[in-house]
Amino acid sequence: MAVFGLAVADLTDRAEMPAADAEAPAEDSATPSEAGEPTVQIRALSSDGAGVGKLADGRVIFVPRTAPGDTVRVRITHGKPRWARGKLRELIVPSPYRVAPACPYYEECGGCTLQHVAYPQQLHWKGDTVREALRRIAGVDVALPEVVPSPRERGYRSRMTFTLIRLPGGRVVAGLHHLAVPHRIVDVDEGCILPEPAVASAWTALRKAWGEGARRLPSGRKLRLTLRAVDEGVILVVQGGQGPGRPDILLREVEGLVAVWADTPKGAKRLLAGLKHVHDTRFEETLPTGPTTFLQVNREASEALHRWVVEQARVSAGERVVDAYCGVGLYGRELARLGAHVVGLERDPDATRSARTAAPEGFTVLAGAVEDRMAEALPADLVILNPPRTGVDARVTEALQVAGPPRLIYASCDPATLARDIGRLSSSYEVEEVRAFDLFPQTAHVEVVVVLKRTAAEPQSE
């Protein structure tokens, strides 16, 4: 039976063939078919969810929409000295892990990558992804981490972004990027399995309401349309284009739509119509939110992650905590209510305002980049890091090595940058606990939380 292994690429070139794949057994070799298209046994999944096999010449080949255990015939679409990418041409022997995709757009759409893989195996693969990233990039060996499943495998996203392209003759294509040709857009109407019901309903209604050529939206060839569920309903954020369009008509004709915003190229947000102030309730706390304020898209799965982080914090009254990249302050606010003195660090103005709104005693927020303000927030008994996908700035890990706390909790949405940063901290910290959370079923993304404890004493000043 095939193993859900991982092909993790080095951060300097994620497309390069991983060294681990060079050790594949001989039976994974491919043999050319009569049509000149190789037959490949798929034995693993790569970090982007593509199946991984091996060609007769020793190169690793990545084939989207395949699963470990498949025997497939492929057409090579890109070739390099050490690796190749291919397109599935024929499923010869299906994997026992394979299931029928639920989405009618799955064959071409790049929004999901793992719908063809049974959900328990998606979870197993994500745990292996985390373990292998830590091993290869950070040099840290850990047991296969638990991956907490999402309560919902479909209909879990509270926020969806679609791309709209206006074509000659008044035609409009609006949806998600094509799997094989990213500059193409797959037209997505009803049937996408990712959004929450309110967001899906608003998207269907919006397509009907925007009129011929989408004339009721801002003008311009290309727009990015983000629909976001909030307590009051759904808001629409339009990025790109010129002019307001007719947001008043959209509000009237799209049931549940409560506001239309424009997000300008310079990052300014302009209300075009509807409610200026909206709210989002998370973990029994209602906070004001801006049109682009970051919150996890999977509400239910993120609650399990949140509770585990708070549990691992194990704060006592009077302890000092730094909540870095704190966003709206969900961790910091709760830890302050448990008696800790928490300093939040956040650069986004909307998130900073939300975090400061009705903040509990003991929680303060410093506005600015974490790398600019971490040193003044230290010392602390605990630091929580929850950075964007790019990970933390090197200046942050340097500050933590010099004057970091006894314990760190690092929450990440990218195992590779997480592992890079843990590698940077390895002279001062060691991994104590790892747990993953599936906030993005049907995709290759996984959220990871690592608890680290300090092993090196703080340097003594001369």
222 pLDDT more than 80: yes
Q: Residue 402: which residues within 8 A CB-CB, separation 6 or more? A: 458, 459
pLDDT confidence tier of residue 30, bands split at 50, 70 and 90: very low
Tokens of 81: 């000295």
Using the Cα atoms of residue 251, residue 254, residue 258 and residue 260 in order, give the sign of their dihedral: negative
81 pLDDT more than 80: yes
Looking at every residue in the chain, the average pLDDT score rounds to 90
Paired strand residues for 62: 52, 85
342 pLDDT more than 90: yes
177 pLDDT more than 90: yes
pLDDT at 3: 38
9 pLDDT more than 80: no
Nearest to 418 by CA among 379, 454, 445, 443: 445
Grouping H, G, I as helix, E, B as strand and the rest as coil, residue 240 is coil
Assess if CATH 1.10.10.10 describes domain 5-98.
no
Residue limits of CATH 3.40.50.150 in the chain: 135-150+298-454
pLDDT confidence tier of residue 329, bands split at 50, 70 and 90: very high
pLDDT confidence tier of residue 40, bands split at 50, 70 and 90: very high
Whether the predicted model's global pTM rises above the 0.85 cut: yes
11 pLDDT more than 70: no
Least confident piece of the model among 33-42, 140-149, 189-198, 395-404: 33-42
Long-range contacts of 314-320 (CB under 8 A, 24+ apart): 315/339, 315/340, 315/381, 315/382, 316/340, 319/381, 319/382, 320/379, 320/380, 320/381, 320/382
35 pLDDT more than 50: no
pLDDT at 266: 75
pLDDT at 240: 94
Residue limits of CATH 2.40.50.1070 in the chain: 159-282
pLDDT confidence tier of residue 16, bands split at 50, 70 and 90: very low
- Which residues form the catalytic set? 413
pLDDT at 23: 30
pLDDT confidence tier of residue 268, bands split at 50, 70 and 90: confident
Percentage of the chain with pLDDT > 90?
84
pLDDT confidence tier of residue 457, bands split at 50, 70 and 90: low
Q: Quick check: 240 and 222 in contact, CB under 8 A?
A: yes
d(CA 381, CA 406): 6
322 pLDDT more than 50: yes
pLDDT at 427: 93
For 135-150+298-454, CATH gives 3.40.50.150
Q: Quick check: 147 and 437 in contact, CB under 8 A?
A: yes
456 pLDDT more than 90: no
pLDDT at 458: 53
Q: Quick check: 196 and 229 in contact, CB under 8 A?
A: yes
Percentage of the chain with pLDDT > 70?
91
pLDDT confidence tier of residue 47, bands split at 50, 70 and 90: confident
Q: Which span out of 36-45, 78-87, 417-426 was modeled with the highest average pLDDT?
A: 417-426
Nearest to 195 by CA among 176, 220, 171, 216: 176
CATH architecture, range 159-282? Beta Barrel (2.40)
pLDDT at 307: 96
pLDDT confidence tier of residue 182, bands split at 50, 70 and 90: confident
